[in-house]
Amino acid sequence: MKRKFCLLPTFFFLLFAVCLVQEVTAQQLSDVSKANDFIKNNATKIGLSATDLQNYRISDMYVDKLSGATMIYLQQTYKGIDVMNAIQSLAEKNWSPV
């Protein structure tokens, strides 16, 4: 007796997975946008010049569970290429992207 392969459960699983990935990606983009706003609003306190604000990317960002601080890692870039060993880490206790 041959078993029929049912595509319906596979289809719904794949649809669920795609929706989940899309939601997570949208949340991450929102968090990065908030982090960029935070960096631009506090550039002088951080020690960033106007040129620095045009030549960086956020390489990583997370909330430390133990301290509750938001950790943001800025990677300096030159013409869109990462500058080797040019990373500045920021820790902000009173701000959370969530």
2 falls within a domain: no
pLDDT, average across residues 51-74? 89
From CA 57, how far away is CA 44, in angstroms rounded?
17
Beta carbons of 68 and 62 less than 8 angstroms apart: no
84 falls within a domain: yes
pLDDT at 98: 47
92 or 74: which leads in pLDDT: 74
From CA 19, how far away is CA 13, in angstroms rounded?
10
64 falls within a domain: yes
pTM: 0.65
11 or 90: which leads in pLDDT: 90
Count up the domains in the chain and report the number. 1
Of 38, 26, 30, the C-alpha closest to 71 is: 38
- Average pLDDT of every residue of the chain: 79
Segments forming the whole domain that contains residue 62? 8-92
pLDDT band at 76 (very low <50, low <70, confident <90, very high): very high
pLDDT, average across residues 36-52? 88
pLDDT, average across residues 48-72? 89
